């Protein structure tokens, strides 16, 4: 089994991490970049496949050289056997379509064709959810979206998955598709390890990859547009048909907040706070 996970670096939108200029535009150079949170669900799904079925997990991204650290984060925090970064200036400022064409070419260049490619639900910055499905379209593979659990039948060459219908958690259907196949993991995806052998394997692999992540560049391959034999006219900004008419900035969090400090042993002061919060704790 060879599985590949697509990922992207996004601004760290946690409070206090995001920097805006005076016009409300995001200053990416002053805002830390992290692995897109939804991609970690996809990586966990790929890791489940590794634990249960063996094989090899690759993590792939397209972006600037700084995305090397994003790939390292994915390797360290979840799991990856090796890393691929598609990067050069010609790929810059790409929309989802130009990105999909570039990533699809990267997938085709791999020495071993993937059996499964996993993508996250959407990114925390663009939130289009386009890149995974568009990459799949370029490869002309079957795709299963909103996946919350999956099982692999290697002998039959199929993947069987449970997915949310129209993204609705109250309705789930089971579908089956031949491999190679694209899987879009839903944020509701939960890995399951039913056997003791799976749980032991999970522990061993986690320890192994965390050591590997310390020297991640030994497992990193970087390809530019020439390595991928891509025409600059069809990638990056030049190959992007999308025109952005405007961007709504994320409001800044208040720089100061009112806070009441209560000592843990001050039961009299704690009582009204507990009375106020208890209804929320029980779901009222």
Q: What is the pLDDT of residues 15-63, one digit of tens each?
A: 566 666 665 555 666 778 899 999 999 999 999 999 999 999 999 999 9
Q: Given this model, what pLDDT does residue 283 score?
A: 55
C-alpha 273/C-alpha 174 separation (Å) is 46
Please identify which residue in the block is written with the tokens 């010609």.
90
Q: Judge contact between 149 and 97, C-beta under 8 A.
A: no
Q: Is the pLDDT of residue 169 over 70?
A: yes
Q: Which of 34, 36, 28, 29 is nearest to 12 (CA)?
A: 34
202-250: per-residue pLDDT in tens?
999 999 999 999 999 999 999 999 999 999 999 998 999 987 776 666 5
User: For position 170, what pLDDT does the model report?
Assistant: 79
We find that the CATH architecture of domain 2-234 is 3-Layer(aba) Sandwich (3.40)
Write down the pLDDT at residue 208.
95
Domain boundaries defined on the chain: 2-234
Look at residue 11 in the predicted model and tell me its pLDDT: 84
Instruction: Of 244, 241, 235, 242, give the one whose Cα is nearest residue 98.
Output: 235
In which band, very low, low, confident or very high, does the pLDDT at 167 lie, cut at 50, 70 and 90?
Answer: low
For 50, the token pair is: 């590794």
Residue 104's pLDDT is what? 97
**For position 137, what pLDDT does the model report?**
96
Q: What is the pTM of this model?
A: 0.83
**pLDDT given at position 24:** 57
Beta-sheet pairing, 33-35 with 220-223: unpaired
- Tell me what percent of the chain is helix, strand and coil, each rounded to the nearest 5: 35, 25, 40
Mean pLDDT of the chain: 89
């Amino acid at each position: 089994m060879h599985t590949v996970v697509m990922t992207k670096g996004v601004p760290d939108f946690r409070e206090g991490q995001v920097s805006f200029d005076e016009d409300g535009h995001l200053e990416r150079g002053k805002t830390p970049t992290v692995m897109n949170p939804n991609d970690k669900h996809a990586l966990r799904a790929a890791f489940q496949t590794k634990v249960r079925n063996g094989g090899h997990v690759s993590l792939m991204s397209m972006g600037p050289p700084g995305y090397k650290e994003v790939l390292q984060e994915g390797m360290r925090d979840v799991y990856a056997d090796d890393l691929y970064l598609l990067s050069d200036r010609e790929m810059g400022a790409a929309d989802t379509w130009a990105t999909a064409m570039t990533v699809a070419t990267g997938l085709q260049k791999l020495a071993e064709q993937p059996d499964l490619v996993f993508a996250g639900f959407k990114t925390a910055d663009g939130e289009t959810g386009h890149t995974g499905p568009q990459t799949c379209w370029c490869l002309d593979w079957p795709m299963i979206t909103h996946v919350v659990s999956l099982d692999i039948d290697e002998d039959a060459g199929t993947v069987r998955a449970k997915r949310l219908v129209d993204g609705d958690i109250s309705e789930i259907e089971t579908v089956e598709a031949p491999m190679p196949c694209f899987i879009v993991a839903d944020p509701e995806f939960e890995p399951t390890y039913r056997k003791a052998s799976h749980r032991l394997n999970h522990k061993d692999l986690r320890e192994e990859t965390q050591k590997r992540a310390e020297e991640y560049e030994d497992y990193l391959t970087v390809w530019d547009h020439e390595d991928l034999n891509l025409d600059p006219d069809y990638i990056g900004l030049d190959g992007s048909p999308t025109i952005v008419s405007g961007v709504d900035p994320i409001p800044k969090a208040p720089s100061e907040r009112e806070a009441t400090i209560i000592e843990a042993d001050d039961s009299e002061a704690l009582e009204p706070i507990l009375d106020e919060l208890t209804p929320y704790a029980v779901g009222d």
